[in-house]
Structure 1
Amino acid sequence: MARTPASGIQHSIRAGGYEAVIAGVGASLRSLTYTGRDLVVPFAADEVRPGFRGATLAPWPNRVVDGRYAFGGVDYVLPLTEPKRGHALHGLVGWLDFTVVDKGPSHVALAAVVEPQAGYPWRITVETGYWLRPDGLTQTVTATNDSRTSAPWGTGPHPYLRAGDSALESWTFSLPAAEVLAVTPDRLVPTGLEPVEVDPARFDFRVPREIGGAEIDHAFTALARDSDGLAEVRVTDAEGQGVAMVWDAACPWVQVHTADIEPGHPFHRIGLAVEPMTCAPDAFNADAYPFDTGLIVLGPDESATASWRIAAIA
């Protein structure tokens, strides 16, 4: 019997000039190419996924500060999966093995179950589908609450976009966001919403421009949308080729990270993480903030769906 790769069973799908590989562990987008060009930072099949690169994030994206929250009058404590900062990071499904529900040449649908556990005592069925079409790769995530009580919920993806082989500093970036979530510099604890003009060189990309030396690891909101209600981020290189990411009103937030680690590290500024999110960082503590965090509350047997699309800019 063939040994399963470290990142799980591999699911290759193709359509037009696109090819994607979805790894079963975390329903992770392991690679996405257009005419052979990487649109996201890939990783190897028989490799433990580097961090959350390409993973599906649920039942919360981003952080729960200190791993603590209150819901329905009960206090909960989550395992601290970001030990350097002391938070619970990116949910519970990132290392679950998703099984196939449906598969074809250009699509795959996967499912996993979050079982009731300490810190999150609800059973949530998570179904995600990847479809390749002429307009790119669309991922949809649907959660169903199979518990007897209401559950807090949020989701999002974690791709690192690539405009090309040139340095990230030279890429042109557009981000239609008017507000940024300020955070503490050490632990990234949210402190409040601010207009992007508070630090325009770092946060204001409403007019496309080079990323340059900007170091970003922040959530943005107040997104400008087109007539169909879609928000779009674009990253292009000097030749004008690159990648776009598009999402609808199900995700009123987006986290952007320039992947700053330390100079010389192989993953330092290797790509631009763009993470549409149904809710803000630390949304499980929604009552602690004077703005709408977007936290979704799923009643028993209720479902919620969100989706996003990644496409090549030729």
Structure 2
Amino acid sequence: MRTGEYKIQAGEYAAVVTARAGALRELRHRGRDLIVPFPAGGPIPDFRGIIAAPWPNRIPDGRYTFDSVDYEVPVNEPERACALHGFAFGTAWTLESRDESSVELSCTLEPTPGYPFSLHLTVRYRLSAEGLHSRVTAANTGVDAAPYGVCPHPYLLAGPAPLDEWTLQIPAGSFLEVTPDRLLPVATRSVAGHEFDFRAPRAIGATEIDHAFTAVAFDAGGRAQLTVRDPGGTGVGMAWDRSCPWLQVHTADKQPPSPSRLGLAVEPMTCPPDAFNSGEDLVRLEPGATHEAAWSIFAA
């Protein structure tokens, strides 16, 4: 295994986690990819498998206000002039512990002019006979309250058929309408009667999705689950807890010559896009406080 990469295994599952971005690079069940992998070494394409923190999704123009103070973080999505997926992905994570079936990594987010807060992040990946279980813990090690949000960024693979032929079920009653050019929030709408209504499983078809969903249906145990299935009979599911009331889904549409619709990005989020400005479901992490979010990926 390459330096800074950690292979874990349990039952019929195997995964590779990398210190780069604390990312999930591979996840396989019986040798079949459950996520779109990325190569060892070099850049991580399309944020595959990263931990997006201290905010998920985007902040327009990189500008936000917190506790009546204006801040500006670097824009890393120039085509939409947004700050995308925080900056923990640019950090090399440190190995904290490892055994045959689990690995734990951590990183420290030092204060910057645009985010003058101190956070210590830990991600634990654990395989079992039921799949991969991930948990991110954020601790505020500074002296001021910090705005915070997090999400994973895997691209799920149902099987070998084209994504258009996959059957998708999303347990969400509403979605966030966004502007077509910059994908900035407009209003929350019901999925009823809309092409984004996947509450009952159906084929994705030509539908293009890059939207956040909410009004998530959690079961009595506080768990929600998305599934996507290939017509050949294979599938993959993702489950998460109430720490993530939002879910970004993206059909990974690209303009030629880039390969398009390679997988389905599924991102349980603690808050919606631009929560650093709207404040909606934004985590206010007080000094000394911690926050946890958890999710799982499994063959379905």
Which residue, 14, 39, 44 being the options, matches 2:39? 44
Shift of 1:240: 2.5
What SS does structure 2 have at the residue aligned with 1:197?
A: coil
Does the alignment pair 1:271 with 2:263?
Answer: yes
Which residue, 232, 248, 257 being the options, matches 1:255? 248
Equivalents in 2 of 1:97, 1:46: separation in Å?
A: 13
Q: Give deviations 1:111-165, integer Å, cap 9, x for gaps.
A: 0000000110001000010000111101100000011110000001000000011
Equivalents in 2 of 1:145, 1:225: separation in Å?
A: 28
4+ residue runs of structure 1 moved beyond 4 angstroms? none
Does the alignment pair 1:242 with 2:235?
Answer: yes
Give ranges in structure 2 of 5+ residues lacking alignment.
none
Q: 1:248 to 1:210 in 2, by over 3 A?
A: same
What SS does structure 2 have at the residue aligned with 1:121?
A: coil
Does the alignment pair 1:134 with 2:129?
Answer: yes
In structure 2, what is the equivalent of residue 121 of structure 1? 116
In structure 1, what is the equivalent of residue 153 of structure 2? 158
Which residue, 90, 93, 102 being the options, matches 1:98? 93
Q: Give deviations 1:48-91, integer Å, cap 9, x for gaps.
A: 21130110110000001211110011000110011100010000
In structure 2, what is the equivalent of residue 212 of structure 1? 205
Equivalents in 2 of 1:175, 1:124: separation in Å?
A: 32
Equivalents in 1 of 2:6, 2:299: separation in Å?
A: 21
Amino acid at match of 2:294: S
In structure 2, what is the equivalent of residue 306 of structure 1? 293
How many residues end up aligned between the 2 structures?
A: 300
Equivalents in 2 of 1:294, 1:165: separation in Å?
A: 37
Give ranges in structure 1 of 5+ residues lacking alignment.
288-292
Which residue, 168, 174, 178 being the options, matches 1:179? 174
In structure 2, what is the equivalent of residue 81 of structure 1? 76
Shift of 1:197: 2.3
What's the RMSD between the two structures over aligned residues?
A: 1.2
> Counterparts in 2 of 1:193-212, with a 5 A limit?
193-197=188-192, 200-201=194-195, 203-212=196-205
Q: Give deviations 1:225-279, integer Å, cap 9, x for gaps.
A: 212111100000113311000001000000000000125522x100000000001
Amino acid at match of 1:157: P
Equivalents in 2 of 1:184, 1:45: separation in Å?
A: 35
Name the stretch that deviates more: 257-266 or 141-150: 257-266
What SS does structure 2 have at the residue aligned with 1:311?
A: strand
Q: Residue 60 of structure 2 contacts residue 83 of structure 2 at CA under 8 Å; is this kept in 1? A: yes
In structure 2, what is the equivalent of residue 27 of structure 1? 22
Shift of 1:100: 0.5
Amino acid at match of 1:74: V
Q: Residue 108 of structure 2 contacts residue 118 of structure 2 at CA under 8 Å; is this kept in 1? A: yes
Shift of 1:44: 1.1
Equivalents in 2 of 1:311, 1:272: separation in Å?
A: 14
Does the alignment pair 1:59 with 2:54?
Answer: yes
Equivalents in 2 of 1:283, 1:66: separation in Å?
A: 14
In structure 1, what is the equivalent of residue 277 of structure 2? 285
Amino acid at match of 2:299: A
Q: Residue 159 of structure 2 contacts residue 232 of structure 2 at CA under 8 Å; is this kept in 1? A: no
Name the stretch that deviates more: 278-287 or 81-90: 278-287
Equivalents in 2 of 1:254, 1:47: separation in Å?
A: 28
Equivalents in 2 of 1:229, 1:128: separation in Å?
A: 21
TM-score, structure 2 as length reference = 0.98
Equivalents in 1 of 2:218, 2:46: separation in Å?
A: 31
Equivalents in 1 of 2:42, 2:154: separation in Å?
A: 17
Amino acid at match of 2:273: P
In structure 2, what is the equivalent of residue 290 of structure 1? none
